């Protein structure tokens, strides 16, 4: 049952619907082609308070070894050499601030931790839709992206100099389920 809901009606506690959420990335390879990938294992939750955004909170935890570019050899290299999955098995994002800037758009800022380094990252999200599922739970969809410099988190490898752009676009297609 499709319904129209604006951000002002989304206050509540949510969990990610991991089967309908995609956390991906795009990086230029040898400055001429793009490598697209995603993470297959993650979990997250959020409390949204639209009336008082400062009361909102969220946490996302990604299993770094779940990186998938449809090339297992490249995935192994990216996991071990770039992300250091043996020493840093998770990538986390912890919300620090939410700003509402229209009826369907929000800006979130949080601390992104990779390879033991933490830096603030701001992402603009658009509310793409809402629905009430068969169990009567509100589902909300959001999409957003941000470009980061992977070197800010120590994500590099000497042999890859010039082969992979330092700029990586992170993509989020999020499906969240409001809890009762």
Tens digit of each residue's pLDDT (9 = 90 or more) over 6-19 = 677 889 999 999 99
C-alpha span between 59 and 38 (Å, rounded): 18
CATH number of the domain to which 66 belongs: 2.40.128.110
* pLDDT tens, residue by residue, 32-79: 788 899 999 999 999 998 888 889 999 999 999 999 999 999 899 889
Q: Where are the strands (E) in 11-133, listed by range?
A: 12-16, 22-29, 33-39, 42-48, 57-63, 67-68, 90-100, 105-114, 117-132
Beta strands at 164-178 and 12-16: parallel, antiparallel or unpaired: antiparallel
Q: Is a pLDDT exceeding 80 seen at residue 158?
A: no
Residue 44, number of CB atoms within 10 A of its CB: 21
Domain that holds residue 127: 2-178
Please tell me the predicted confidence (pLDDT) of residue 108. 95
Please tell me the predicted confidence (pLDDT) of residue 103. 81
Degrees, nearest 5: CA angle 163-164-169: 165
* pLDDT tens, residue by residue, 46-55: 999 888 888 9
Mean pLDDT estimate for the chain: 90
Closest CA to 105 of 6, 3, 17: 6
Please tell me the predicted confidence (pLDDT) of residue 1. 46
Q: Looking at the 3D structure of the chain, how many domains does it have?
A: 1
Judged on CB neighbours under 10 Å (0-12, 13-18, 19+), 46 is buried
Q: Is a pLDDT exceeding 50 seen at residue 132?
A: yes
Structure pTM? Answer: 0.90
């Amino acid at each position: 049952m499709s319904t129209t809901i604006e951000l002002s009606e989304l206050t509540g506690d949510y969990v990610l619907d991991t089967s309908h959420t995609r956390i991906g990335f795009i990086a230029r390879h040898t400055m001429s082609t793009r490598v697209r990938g995603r993470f297959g294992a993650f979990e997250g939750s959020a409390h949204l308070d639209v009336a008082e955004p400062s009361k909102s909170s969220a946490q996302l935890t990604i299993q770094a070894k779940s990186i998938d570019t449809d090339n297992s050899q490249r995935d192994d290299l990216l996991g071990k050499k770039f992300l250091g999955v043996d020493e840093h098995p998770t990538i986390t994002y912890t919300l620090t601030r939410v700003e509402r800037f229209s009826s369907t758009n929000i800006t979130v800022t949080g601390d992104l931790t990779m390879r033991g380094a933490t830096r603030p990252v701001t992402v603009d999200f658009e509310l793409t839709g809402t629905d009430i599922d068969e169990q009567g739970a509100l589902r909300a969809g959001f999409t957003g992206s941000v470009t980061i410099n992977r070197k800010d988190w120590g994500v590099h490898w000497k042999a890859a100099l010039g082969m992979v752009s330092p700029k990586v676009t992170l993509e989020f297609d999020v499906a969240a389920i409001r809890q009762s």
